[in-house]
Amino acid sequence: MSAQVEVLEVLAAPGAGCVTLDARGRSYRELNRTLRSLATRRGVSRISVTNVLGQRYIGTNLRGEIEVRLYGTPGNDLGAFMDGPVIYVYGNAQDGVGNTMNSGKIVVYGNAGDIAAMSMRGGKIFVKGNVGSRSAIHMKECGEKKPLLVVGGTAHDFFGEYMAGGTAILLGLSLGPGEYHKANFIGTGMHGGEIFIRGRVDPSQLGAAVKISEPAGDDMRRIADAVGEFAELFGYDAGEIMHEEFLKLSPKSLRPFAELYHAGSRDSLQLG
């Protein structure tokens, strides 16, 4: 197998460089090495990758103003530690989309797997379909950066677990009339950030650290901005989405487990 992926360069428009890679049969090491090299090449503004099939770490630690279009199913940790680029996935994505992502944008036109947006600290992730378990786990804010995850469908269990910052939005577009969201233990251990849910969720589905309220005026403006971008990306009517009511989930406390570790609580613990 050659040390580099075969590269075909074409011009998308005068003065704009577009490179197409064929990932068929290529290892993730080959593919990522070539992506990093092309991202720093002068004049290259867009990279399209065809026949993607499970290659891991695509876009990991990628930096700069580069657009990457993936056709197929990328493997785990897509865009991990990414700082600036925009990645479009024309298919599904596996686990760990945007893991510890710093800035940029990831757009998934299918579903995403578990732990999407894990420890995400900046940038935006938009998923047209559903996400798996523990998505938005430990999302956090970093300085002026406030990450955003928008999911068009629903999520599996432990959505927003240990969430420390940022905004996560579930739109419920994959649910039928009156159908409840799928996730249980939403916001378990949540101690920062906010979750907005369009559609129905029962209080029994929430973690003990979470409280429910109605979004205020500023909340609705931020939701509308996120929904507008989501609708433009995926061809929805933003007005129709916003017509339904949203719930706001936020932490009851910034230290939900404080009493567990407080020295004075030891006497009350019963071990058996």
Mind listing the pLDDT tens digit of every residue in the chain (272 residues)? 333 334 443 333 334 588 899 999 999 999 999 999 998 888 889 999 999 999 999 999 999 899 999 999 999 999 999 999 999 999 999 999 999 999 999 999 999 999 999 999 999 999 999 999 999 999 999 888 999 999 999 999 999 999 999 999 999 999 999 999 999 999 999 999 999 999 999 999 999 989 999 999 899 999 999 999 999 999 999 999 999 999 999 999 777 666 666 555 555 545 44
Strand segments, DSSP code E, in 109-209 are 124-127, 148-151, 164-170, 192-198
Q: How far is CA 245 from CA 171, 172, 187, 216, 241, in A?
A: 10, 11, 20, 12, 9
Tell me what pLDDT residue 160 has.
97
Q: 111-257: what fold?
A: Pectate Lyase C-like (2.160.20)
**Structural domain spans, the chain:** 111-257
Task: Report the distance separating Cα 37 and Cα 108, nearest Å.
Answer: 24
Q: What is this structure's pTM?
A: 0.89
Task: Report the distance separating Cα 119 and Cα 7, nearest Å.
Answer: 34
Q: Where are the alpha helices (DSSP H) in the chain?
A: 28-39, 217-234, 238-243, 258-261
Task: Report the distance separating Cα 175 and Cα 154, nearest Å.
Answer: 8
> Amino acid letter at 8?
L
Rg (CA), the chain: 20
Are the beta carbons of 185 and 210 closer than 8 angstroms?
A: no
Tell me what pLDDT residue 42 has.
80
Tell me what pLDDT residue 251 has.
94
Q: How far is CA 74 from CA 70, 71, 140, 175, 205, in A?
A: 8, 8, 24, 26, 31
Tell me what pLDDT residue 131 has.
98
